Amino acid sequence: MWEINGLVKRSTHNPILMAIKEHWWESKLVYNTAAIKLGDRIYLLYRAMGNDHVSRFGLAMSVNGIDFVRLPYPVFLPSADYETPHPSKFDHDRERGGVEDPRFMVIGDT
């Protein structure tokens, strides 16, 4: 990933994040990533799905935009009733609940 006039260009090293089979919470899918550069680091907040078909957010960090270090645990979990699995969703092949579409926002100097 690199930048011209403030625009981020897609890396030719894609995909830069993939599901990690050994992590119960992100073993199936990694998708819908939000990216932000703060100082000399790039952060990716991403949506991940495990074998339970519930999505959670993970966090990855990089100094070069290609090689990312990921936390081995989710940073945001579903907690509201409408986010948690419900028997009516169990016949879905894909998603049964969870959190959706991460975003980053910088407000002032924080």
- Is the Cβ–Cβ distance between 44 and 60 less than 8 Å? yes
Could you report the per-residue pLDDT of 68-105, keeping only the tens digit for each? 999 999 999 887 776 666 666 555 566 667 888 899 98
State the pTM of this model: 0.80
Q: For residue 110, tell me if it sits in a domain.
A: no
How far apart (Å, rounded) are the C-alpha atoms in residues 60 and 99? 17
Q: For residue 75, tell me if it sits in a domain.
A: yes
- Is the Cβ–Cβ distance between 67 and 79 less than 8 Å? no
CB burial readout 18-32, b (16+ within 10 A) else e: ebbeebebbbbbbee
Report the number of distinct structural domains present in the chain: 1
Could you report the per-residue pLDDT of 29-77, keeping only the tens digit for each? 999 999 999 999 999 999 999 988 889 999 999 999 889 999 999 999 8
Q: For residue 41, tell me if it sits in a domain.
A: yes
**Domain hosting residue 51, numbered range:** 2-98
Q: For residue 105, tell me if it sits in a domain.
A: no
